Structure 1
Amino acid sequence: MTGIAVVALGGNAIIPAGEAGTYEQQREHADVMAASIRELLDDGWRVVIVHGNGPQVGNLAIQQERARDAVPEMPLFALDAMTQGQLGSLIAISVYRACGGRHPVVGILSHVIVDLADPAFEHPSKPIGPFYSRSEAAGLAATRGWVLVEDSGRGYRRVVPSPQPLGFVEIRALRCLLDAGHVVVADGGGGIPVARRGAVWDGVDAVIDKDYAAAELARQLEADALVLVTGVEAVMVDFGTPTQRRLGRIDVAVAERLLSAGQFPEGSMGPKVRAASRFLRGGGRLAVITTASLAAPTLRARGDDPTAGTRIVAALDREEASA
């Protein structure tokens, strides 16, 4: 099975925990990601890449804060746009180099539509930017209207809404580029959030989960596969217990039951399993959760292959019929 694959790469894969995040370090990690994209392209897939930007936008927020007496600070949605350009360039160059120039690659500035009535705007929950002391947090709340919460004993951080992605302003352009044979880098960081204010789009300070954005984009593109790249080879159940086991091939109903049973924490595998479910319930055929190096082998796998990552399908009997 080949067709369109939407591949979601984590921002932490480009700046792993414990690294400074220099350009050279980020380029090295992007090259590793690009090798897996090349393998998908060699297998005949048409590829759209969605990437996270958590560490990058956090670093940029710190730069903005420390330079605020010298240059004007920009709103969060503008920082999303800046990191989209930064990472889109980095990933595009790496993929182009990995493929030896055989595939045209383009990064597209992506605005993602949200609803200002989304309940997330009443309950900001996504931490961004630097840590502040209690007194600094109180001052920022009073002067800027920010919501700040204590974060694991490390200080206070700003939290912003994380609404659901509803659509993509540039979806027609994206389809045209994909149909023309381009590898497309889009919706970086989950996209630049925008909402209708009157007759026009306007930026919104929010963070969209990049896995949810990738799932919705895959649904709207009628993609065949959604690939959620993470740091582990496969999804585990009963993690950290004597009954821990790896999930190979399962159908979406089983994945949803395990999610409801609390097997996949929200801060870890929960959003990925939920994104896979949304894609498959929206008409998708296959969702994969695995590492970059196992992405292509997992898409090729048939049956319950113990050497592959986790494959979630709409229904096992339908997958057998299409194999």
Structure 2
Amino acid sequence: MIEMLSIDFMQRALVAALLVGTVAPMVGIFLVQRRLSLIGDGMGHVALAGVAIGLVTGSAPVLTALVAAVLAAVVIELLRTRGRTNGDVALAVIFYGGIAAGVVIISKSADGTPANLMKYLFGSILTTQRSDLYLFAALALVIAVTTWALRPRLFAVANDEEYARAVGIPVLPLNIVLAVLTATTVVVAMRVVGLLLISALMIVPNAASQLVARSFGGGLRWAIGFGLVSSVGGVALSYPLNTPSGGTIVLLAVGLFVVTAAVTGIMTRVGSRRHAEAETHAHEHGVECGHPTVTHGDHLDYLHDGHLHAAHEGHYDEHGDHDEGHHDPHGHQGTHGHPAPAGAPGSATPTTGDRR
């Protein structure tokens, strides 16, 4: 590890991975909300055409890729909004047209070798130059600041476009902003993950975060965390393993998703055993319900038909039969669907995620 950090190109690679791992999930969370998880792939294909134009004309491929991707993003959003064709068809046309144009144009360039093409398609983070890093840092800063400043409005539009339009939120401009942010993120991640794999870094960390987060804000924080671990960890692993950085980053992201899904699945099954349903009853316990109360830790249990019931997060836990003694071996049995009355001793109001 110390040896890796002392190498100049690895320092640049890790900084680039840090930038991409931060901003890709920030944009991706809104794409997941809008069910546009594959739009990053479309932008990547168009960006390849921009790279090819840059190589043929001798211009900076990063800048020409940015221009091509941004233009395509705006065109797709306008086509989708105006209803001349649906979003899937518009995306498919740009998707295939972009990669075809890129392959044809890049073949006319002196730098259009298979190796050069592969580094753009699948990433070549170790070839990142210091000038590239400055440009990526500037673009990443724009993405992060814009996304953070507009996140309430972007979430409102992504969650319910019709409602956002009804309350006066400028839906079309915000959709165009999101499309441009997506295109810019694709270009920033071009050297790190590759144009064909960038969509995975925008989507997979958000898919993992949805398994553990309880709110939009929490989901965004978890997604950034997963993105950073995937990008920085993937670059760090690719050095000793001598594997492509882009593929290693995506495989690590997928691995984190699988582990998270397995752990949360196990926890859910264990929790369901500890919270097995007890017999249901229509009665709601409260201070004036007439049933005796028994102090149990920091709350009260209600004695009802020989059973001790405690209000807990929208249902009742059964703490055993009264005749068998008051015990609670963490084997709570819940009566779901019978919310405890607000203000009842020991009751808890169900929490919901902060959707703002």
Larger Cα Rg: Structure 1 or Structure 2? 2
Please confirm whether the aligned pair reaches a TM-score higher than 0.5, indicating the same fold.
no
Considering fraction of residues, name the structure with more helix: 2
TM-score by length of 2: 0.31
Considering fraction of residues, name the structure with more strand: 1
TM-score by length of 1: 0.34
